[in-house]
């Protein structure tokens, strides 16, 4: 009994899995949806109208201000919570850049509302249950969850920086630096 428990525990430690959260080093599974490469630097943001967890509607291509669009696998999982809390903790500095922050996952509206409330997230969370936003940005879906990829946009709606393989710890600071250097 102890041996099988330790083997299971070790497999989770090796994979870095937590409640279904995809890791960046796992090969795509057979259930991964094929996606083109993520939007490249200089690409125009897709013309999408999004409805955030708080009911706010925004058109990414017409924001007229810098933005961060960050994709993450799942609300209220360890890595995703670290990433969201870091952005929250740097919120005043991020606001100083004039940027809008939009977190996107395949979770639904109710999940986003609960996640934002639980961690007092001051930025927008957008559901992508049909994977249309991920596909438009070229973000891979693996086992129904978006890969962890972030895009920094300028005020004209062009991609200025892509983070194709995000490590949650420290990513808030990376985003702030990218926003600050784009000004």
Active-site residue set? 80
- Which residue has tokens 């109710």? 110
Contact at 8 Å (CB) between 42 and 161? no
Residues 6+ apart with CB under 8 A from 108: 127, 129
Burial class (CB in 10 A: 0-12, 13-18, 19+), 181: exposed
């Amino acid at each position: 009994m102890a041996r099988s428990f330790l083997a299971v525990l070790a497999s989770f430690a090796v994979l870095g899995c937590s409640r279904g959260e995809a890791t960046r080093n796992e090969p795509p599974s057979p259930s991964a949806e094929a996606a083109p490469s993520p939007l490249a630097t200089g690409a125009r943001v897709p013309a999408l109208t999004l409805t955030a967890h708080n009911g706010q509607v925004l058109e990414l291509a017409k924001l007229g201000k810098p933005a961060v669009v960050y994709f993450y696998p799942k609300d209220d999982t360890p890595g995703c919570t670290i990433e969201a809390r870091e952005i929250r903790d740097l919120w005043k500095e991020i606001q100083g850049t004039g940027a809008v922050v939009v977190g996107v996952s395949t979770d639904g509206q109710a999940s986003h509302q609960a996640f934002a409330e639980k961690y007092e997230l001051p930025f927008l969370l957008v559901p992508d249950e049909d994977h249309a936003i991920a596909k438009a940005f070229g973000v891979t879906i693996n086992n129904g969850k978006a890969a962890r990829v972030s895009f920094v946009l300028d005020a004209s709606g062009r991609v200025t920086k892509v983070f194709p393989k995000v490590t949650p710890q420290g990513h808030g600071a990376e985003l702030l630096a990218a926003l600050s250097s784009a000004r």
